[in-house]
Amino acid sequence: MVDAASGTAGSPPRAEDAPEKPLTAIQFARKIVGRIVVYSLFPVYFSQAFALRRHALTLTPAVGPTEGRIGRGDPLHFLAVGDSIISGVGARRIQQSTVGHVARFMSGRLAREINWRAAGMIGAGARRVRRDVVPALPQQRFDAILLSVGVNDVLKLERSGRFRRQLL
């Protein structure tokens, strides 16, 4: 075969290269009716979305102190700062949360005493963590820091460039 555009030998024509067949009247009518139904249901979709958001489950933080000590040995100061995962949402007690698990893991792995502190805010995006949580932290030196932000920014459809700027 010779390619008409370049005048060189090419591969045989493929099915996707063939011109599209025009829709029949029935196919066209089905397509139009389908779109009308979908577009006409937009108000229902939006009202359901807002109702869901208004009546959604309220998350609560884990019970217990927001700071503690675990293990023995040379002390290491560990700070966990961020959103609801740091507040312990999903765990009954803060020691059973991500912060507690990370502190226990660090203590076992490093054979050190871990002095941990959790500073989290439920529903906070990067901006709120930086604006509200970080200034309330104690003025002390931490050896290790766990930062958890981003999930709420994604849920709020935050743009990636703005998210990056809010972290710095």
User: Taking all residues of the chain, what is their mean pLDDT, rounded to a whole number?
Assistant: 84
Q: What is the pTM of this model?
A: 0.63
pLDDT number for residue 82 = 92
Q: Report the candidate in 127, 62, 51, 50 with the shortest Cα–Cα distance to residue 91.
A: 62
CA distance 137 to 78: 12
CA distance 98 to 87: 9
pLDDT number for residue 17 = 62
Q: Among the ranges 12-16, 50-54, 55-59, 70-74, which has the highest mean pLDDT value?
A: 70-74
Residues paired with 76 in a beta bridge: 114
Task: For residue 156, count CB atoms less than 10 angstroms from its CB and return exposed for 0-12, middle for 13-18, buried for 19 or more.
Answer: exposed
pLDDT tens digits, one per residue of 91-144:
999 889 999 999 999 999 999 999 999 999 988 888 888 889 999 998 999 999
